[in-house]
Amino acid sequence: MYEGFFTPVPGAQCALESIAMTRKVRHRDGYAVFHGTHIGCSGPIDPTGTTGAADGVCAMTFEGQTFRHMTTIRHDGRTLRKRSQT
């Protein structure tokens, strides 16, 4: 889900904040916040050692017990830009 976030922030950890589900439509939604420190080499800048957080939502669709589709909405790009400007 956050593969772009884990390259410059390799020790990032996820805090699952909430999960919601509807049985009739068979959707599961999860909200999580990823926290970490910019220590990995990636892109045009050296590691800054600054910490940051990126939040996001993952919407999943199931058919019975079978996983069918997932959409992610995340804000890791904004967090990474902030870390590179420090």
- What is the value of pTM for the model shown? 0.64
pLDDT digits over 10-21, tens only?
777 889 999 998
pLDDT digits over 40-61, tens only?
776 667 888 888 888 889 899 9
> Burial of 83 by CB count in 10 Å (0-12 exposed, 13-18 middle, 19+ buried)?
buried
Contact 39, 52 (CB under 8 A): no
52 closest CA partner among 32, 74, 33, 37: 37
- Please give the domain boundaries of the chain with CATH numbers for all domains: 3-84 (3.10.450.50)
List, in sequence order, every residue forming a beta bridge with 73; answer none if it has no partner.
57
Question: Per-residue confidence at 80, pLDDT binned at 50, 70, 90?
Answer: low
SS3 label, residue 8: coil
